[in-house]
Copies of this chain bind each other. A is one copy, B any other.
């Protein structure tokens, strides 16, 4: 019998915020866990939708016209081209899925490096 990928265990291996760690790959996408706290930058991805599933804590995804609030077990997909800013008042753990190589800020020049956990 083998184990799968335990998301909590992967999250326990690092403490940096806004630094996604790839835990699996799926159809040329990276499945990632990330710890976030504070405000990220406003950004958009022109070529990919942006998948968020909150595992722990409460995440606000600010859009220009409203804010989506996600608790544990709640998810949202920001459509491609839509400006958004994740904001976490306290530390939040999130599952992200993005095509491999997608810059997290929407801009390769400012993006966090892609690492594995």
A-side interface residues toward B, CB under 8 Å?
1-8, 23-27, 29, 31, 48-49, 51-55, 61, 66-70, 73-77, 95, 97, 99
Contact = CB atoms under 8 A, between A and B. Distances in A.
30 contacts: A1-B69, A2-B68, A3-B68, A3-B69, A3-B74, A4-B52, A4-B54, A4-B69, A4-B70, A4-B74, A4-B75, A4-B76, A5-B74, A5-B75, A5-B76, A6-B73, A6-B74, A7-B74, A23-B75, A24-B76, A25-B49, A26-B49, A26-B51, A26-B77, A26-B97, A27-B29, A31-B77, A53-B95, A55-B73, A97-B97
Tell me how many chains of this kind the complex includes.
2
A54 B100 CA distance: 23
Contact of A2 (B5, B26, B27, B69): B69
Contacts of A73: 6-8, 55
B97 A66 contact: no
B66 A2 contact: yes
B68 A24 contact: no
A51 B29 CA distance: 11
A69 B5 CA distance: 10
